Amino acid sequence: MDIRDYMLKIGKAARLASVSIRRASTDQKNIALQAIGEQILGARKHLMLENEKDLEAGRAKGLSDALLDRLAFTDASFDAMVNGLEQVVQLQDPVGEISNLVRRPNGLQIGKMRTPIGVIGIIYESRPNVTIDAASLCLKSGNATILRGGSEAIHSNRALSECITRGLTQNSLHECVVQLVEHTDRDAVGELVKMDRYVDVIVLRGGKGLIERVAKEATIPLIKHLDGVCHVYIDEDADREKAISIAFNSKTQRYAVCNSMETLLVAAPIAPDVLPELANQYLKVGVELRGCDDTKKILSNICQIVIATEEDWGTEYLGPVLSVKVVKGIDCAIDHINEYGSNHTDTIVTENYSKGRRFIREVDSSSVLINASTRFADGFEYGLGAEIGISTDKLHARGPVGLEGLTSQKYIVFGDGQIRQ
């Protein structure tokens, strides 16, 4: 079968399965999620063997240690998958939720009801855990799912997908509610993102290259997760201790994540007070600093720092590098963030009420924080229970995307025979 036919077959089956999963009760969905967890525990040995095949192929292909690490199943990743399923079971089912019910003068009662979207395609790279995370969130929200993982994880993903299918069919759910694309050819992605008759939305998780390529080809709406060039702005009215601990934590708590800080902005009046202390802390853990002229001057007794280029201000280092800029005040900080940032996550540290309010209103990012580390911007920390990604788009879902982002809302109207005059 050629790739187009193969993908069309998957698309049609998903559309069909979406009709049944849309109508499934919360109990049915939860029991299936638990059954998938049991299947994973039961298939542990088989999953390890299949994962080893991926690792072997990865080593032969010369994948980096970091990538091999992300690919490997461990006791911790098994626990995470099974716990993740249990957490999704605990989440409230959004489907059928009615809100904003108002009574109109003519007696009609009008509100909104949450519904599944229909068919969701998920395109992701390397980490096979995503297979379970994504499938469980889509299942709970009443959607059919087409999973397209990275080719380097195909054996692991196939084995996980078998666990999912058994969990579904054991509980009389349609076996195509979750399907894995087993074609590892790139063209399969090209077909998937153009099947607008069968797929309602594509969730994209992966590197910049993948996302840019898919965004160009797709005719289906995308929920995409682009880069996070996140900022902390230390205002002149900041509390010194909060400023230092938030700026340190936002950069160093983890490096290779989208919500870690890449650029630190410091108001000129407070810069000589906080920057030396911060620089010492950063240098101690091996963070390389690049800065503007003022930063270089202020830190000249501590270290020699490289002058940041125009490119630095827009770079997501995803590693132990930080660009630092001394700014005049909040106006310059907001302008800098809106110009160079990626509309992901930005923090102000200040004790000034009005400046906090302005920052929140005027910074055009998916998460804007006052006096808290940028690292909090994720679905678990926000209490969504789980997330399928962090959207930097402004339409539909913005910021961490949980169950709600995987649903739609329709209008519902309760009448007593009303007709329009």
Give me the residues that bind a copy of itself (CB under 8 A), please. 19, 22-23, 96, 102, 104, 108, 110, 113, 115, 117-118, 200-201, 215-216, 219, 221, 239, 241-242, 245-246, 248-250, 253, 338, 360-362, 364-373, 375-377, 381-383, 393-396, 398-400, 408-420
Cα separation, 12 vs 79, in Å, equals: 34
Do the Cβ atoms of 347 and 231 come closer than 8 Å? yes
Q: What are the helix (H) ranges across 219-307?
A: 240-252, 271-284, 293-298
Shortest Å, Cβ 142 to a copy of itself: 11
Shortest Å, Cβ 52 to a copy of itself: 33
Shortest Å, Cβ 354 to a copy of itself: 14
Q: Are strands 109-116 and 98-103 parallel, antiparallel or unpaired?
A: antiparallel
Shortest Å, Cβ 276 to a copy of itself: 20
Shortest Å, Cβ 361 to a copy of itself: 6
Nearest by Cα to 343 from 205, 215, 201, 231: 231
3-state DSSP call for residue 324?
Answer: strand
Do the Cβ atoms of 158 and 179 come closer than 8 Å? no
Query: Considering Cα of 183, then 67, then 82, then 259, what sign does the dihedral take?
Result: negative
Cα separation, 84 vs 98, in Å, equals: 27
Residue number with CB closer to a copy of itself (189 or 368):
368
Shortest Å, Cβ 362 to a copy of itself: 6
Residue number with CB closer to a copy of itself (286 or 383):
383
Residue number with CB closer to a copy of itself (42 or 415):
415
Note the Cα 120 to chain centre separation in Å.
Answer: 15
Residue number with CB closer to a copy of itself (175 or 241):
241
Residues written for the chain = 421
Residue number with CB closer to a copy of itself (55 or 363):
363
Residue number with CB closer to a copy of itself (5 or 241):
241
Shortest Å, Cβ 104 to a copy of itself: 6
Q: For residue 275, give Cα distances in angstroms to 291, 299, 304, 384.
A: 11, 7, 14, 35
Residue number with CB closer to a copy of itself (209 or 417):
417
Give residues with Cβ within 8 angstroms of 178, minimum separation 6.
Answer: 135, 138, 139, 144, 145, 147, 161, 164, 165, 168
